[in-house]
Copies of this chain bind each other. A is one copy, B any other.
Amino acid sequence: MINKIQHSTNCGDCNCKTSIFKSLHPFELELINQARVQVNYKAGEIIFKQGTPSPHFVCVTSGLAKIYIEGYGKNLILALVKPVDYIFGPGIYVDNRHYYSASAVEDSSACLVDVNIFKKLIRENPDFADEFIKRVSLQSIFNFDQVISLTQKQMHGRIADVIFYLAEKIYCQNPFVMTISRQDLADLSGMSKESAIRILKEFREEGILSLQGNTLEILNIKQLRQISETG
């Protein structure tokens, strides 16, 4: 099972896709490369748990992961993380604890790198620091949109938002295969699984999308956008 997935053998080839690393010098990238540990996760396996110490940052190199807050009885998925993107929680600069959990949605692999190396590079390379802060800022902005969607739109609008998120940011194609479960869809849109399913059904009946098996196609983007905007 090991080594079934093809990976780059160094960060210089792999992480070039992640904009934040573009400001690192080759020798700095090599520093990360030396320190990294690669791990494989089966679908459903937990990568790290909310509340536990956070000794490294995680770079997802294949598959799909979710980061989610374990709340009161249910989870809220903050984001899906696809290759090549990394998970770097806010606890690292606070108390070295995770403030959300992460698990693999699909069979995935990831590189783990000691956070101290990361923090060291931020101190030493201002361009990298700027990129990092920019990245954190983009995350914040995304979260703002998310919290407005969750608190001010009703279910139809929230599902519309999540479908756009999946099509545009995660799977990046229009007919796409939903590898996330209905429960995940519900946890992304802050509603019960039953409600999420029902709205998906409604959208299908109204010809807004087609859904056979787990292949979803947005048929009427304009109408779905409308639903997203009218809440």
Chain A residues within 8 Å of B, Cβ to Cβ: 69, 71-74, 76, 78, 90-94, 99-100, 119, 122-124, 126, 129-130, 132-134, 136-141, 143-144, 146-148, 150-153, 190, 231
Contacts and interface: CB of A to CB of B under 8 A. Distances in A.
Contact of A141 (B99, B141, B147, B148): B99
Given A141-B90, A141-B99, A76 B151 contact: yes
Q: Which 6 A-B pairs have the closest CB atoms?
A: A90-B137, A123-B126, A90-B140, A93-B134, A71-B152, A93-B137
A151 B77 CA distance: 12
Interface of A is mostly: helix
A86 to B, nearest CB: 15
B94 A141 contact: yes
A144 B93 contact: no
Contacts of A133: 93, 122, 132-133, 136
Contacts of A147: 69, 76, 143, 146-147, 150
A179 to B, nearest CB: 24
Contact of A72 (B69, B139, B146, B231): B231
Given A123-B126, A231-B72, A94 B150 contact: no
A136 B151 CA distance: 23
Contact of A130 (B90, B123, B126): B123
A100 B137 CA distance: 13
A122 B69 CA distance: 30
Given A90-B138, A94-B137, A152-B190, 6 more contacts: A78-B144, A94-B134, A99-B140, A99-B144, A136-B136, A147-B147
